[in-house]
Chains A and B, each alone.
Chain A
């Protein structure tokens, strides 16, 4: 069973639209970490955020915001007023206690295309 599910394979929006990328995870651990990474066309993985399972506070960083809900095992990512430079593949990832927090399990990624 997939541990991290990003059901949206590709999303296309027009600049200045808001967009939410969904992430649903599965784990038996009570302590775990969730991540979001951005992979632009140049290929590098850019760290965006890490969230501890005990911290359900939503976070906002500029145009980015994250909604962590343990009740639904979701860690969704919203970009407000999207820009062309936001075009990238976005990966949600999980690290669990039973792996010693040593590795990340990634979702399949969501490709976001922002057109002018």
Chain B
């Protein structure tokens, strides 16, 4: 079965650069979620989209923005990168915005962002 696809798998950037992470949800899923996991930390919710509209917002910095496109894939854009942005970024998708009500809530394999 198709899973949540994230690209790239790894990304290395310099301070003050920009980065774009992509997430392709499971087919027919209309909701995507972004989480950030710092080194040795638990995943923290950033933002979610349902039917191409922002549905929920967590601890996402103003330097970050995201959107969901007509094909339901989502992109997380990060500007003016800082060393502290180095983290594993996960995307998850679900059939509707009540993600936890899905029998299983799957995450992508994550994008490891390293800011040097």
Contact = CB atoms under 8 A, between A and B. Distances in A.
Interface size range on A against B: 20 to 34
Interface string B89-113: 0100000011111011111111010
Contacts of B33: 102-103
A97 B98 CA distance: 9
Interface in B25-43: 31, 33, 35, 41-43
A44 B109 contact: yes
Nearest to A9: B40
Contacts of B88: 43
Contacts of A103: 33, 45, 48, 56, 58, 99
A35 B98 CA distance: 14
Given A45-B90, A50-B103, A50-B105, A104 B45 contact: yes
A33 B33 CA distance: 17
B55 interface: yes
A21 B10 CA distance: 31
B37 to A, nearest CB: 9
Given A44-B107, A50-B104, 7 more contacts: A33-B100, A95-B100, A100-B56, A102-B97, A104-B35, A107-B42, A108-B42
